[in-house]
Copies of this chain bind each other. A is one copy, B any other.
Amino acid sequence: MSTDHINRRGFLAYSAAGAAITSTPAFARSAWGSERQSKGSEMARPKAIFFDVNETLLDLTSMKRSVASALGGREDLLSLWFTTMLQYSLVSSAGGQYEDFGVIGAATLRMVARNNGIDLGESDAKNAIMPIRSLPPHPDVREGLQRIKSAGYRMITFTNSSNAGVEAQMHNAGLTDMFETRLSVEDVQMYKPHQHVYAWAARKIGLEPHECMLVAAHGWDIAGALWAGWRGAFLARPGAQLYPLAPKPEIVVPDLSAAADRLIAMKA
């Protein structure tokens, strides 16, 4: 990562192809200054890496297909539904409530359907999102995880999915053995990016916040982690955006393979 690419106007610099190429890492900037932070190999390794699951590791395409089908083929409504599901996961936490992510997903799918004149029953909505339990990993994931693991990192999944949900997801994706444990927000009954959830996860693993790094393809998750004092690696998958009003993570790369390169280069 070269300082040439650092965009000082507070927003990501993008390559001509539209992929995020770099950002100003607020963490590194204060700790090492702009010269040293520009060389990933000189940064100290985090003591554990927490991986978000949905979209970060697993490819949501098959679920999007079944949800679009339930919406009468309206693929244009998929982003709205997924965003509404995330909104209501936080509505739930803000209201002191908790329901499984899948339950919120089905309820919000019915709301989006109804707003668009589509009659969708409760069981049809649940069936439409059921493929979330058997998603394949993105093509870069298995190799990327293997290389990070071989480099000696502690690796943990950390997801808004329920315990049963992420267990099935990891089993079906053949990734169970890659991780030392799985953390679900179900145990703390509050959704990411609530600050308490990151504090809880760090304590569960026995680490201080600044020793933890989150890998995620969601701007809101990276924002929450950095606000909680964690380090972050953002995977700029298609449709993913960093939140312009949050600090920038030290790693912004297109996929997990590129993230692995950066992590392996860090001094142990």
Which A residues fall within an 8 A CB radius of B? 11, 14, 18, 76, 79-80, 83-84, 86-88, 90-97, 99, 103-104, 107, 110-111, 114-115, 117, 122, 191-195, 219-220, 223-224, 227-228, 239, 241, 243-246
- A259, chain B: closest CB distance, angstroms: 21
Specify which of B111, B223, B228 is in contact with A91 (CB 8 Å cutoff): B223
Specify which of B18, B84, B94 is in contact with A195 (CB 8 Å cutoff): B94
Query: Apart from A88-B243, A95-B194, A99-B245, what 13 extra A-B contacts exist at CB < 8 Å?
Result: A76-B76, A80-B83, A91-B220, A91-B243, A93-B94, A94-B192, A94-B193, A96-B195, A96-B227, A97-B227, A111-B241, A115-B239, A115-B241
Complexed CA–CA distance, A129 and B246 (Å): 21
A to B CB contacts below 8 Å, 19 in the list: A76-B76, A79-B115, A80-B80, A83-B83, A83-B84, A87-B90, A87-B220, A90-B94, A91-B220, A91-B223, A91-B243, A93-B94, A94-B193, A99-B245, A107-B243, A110-B244, A111-B241, A111-B244, A114-B241
Chain B residues near A245 (CB, 8 Å)?
Answer: 88, 92, 97, 99, 103-104, 107
Q: Identify the closest chain B residue to A195 (Cβ).
A: B96
Complexed CA–CA distance, A53 and B246 (Å): 27
For this chain, the copies found in one complex come to 2
Give the interface centre of A11, A79, A239 by most chain B CB atoms within 10 Å: A79
Contact A195 to B95, CB < 8 A, known contacts A80-B79, A87-B86: yes
Chain B residues near A88 (CB, 8 Å)?
Answer: 220, 243, 245
Chain B residues near A239 (CB, 8 Å)?
Answer: 115
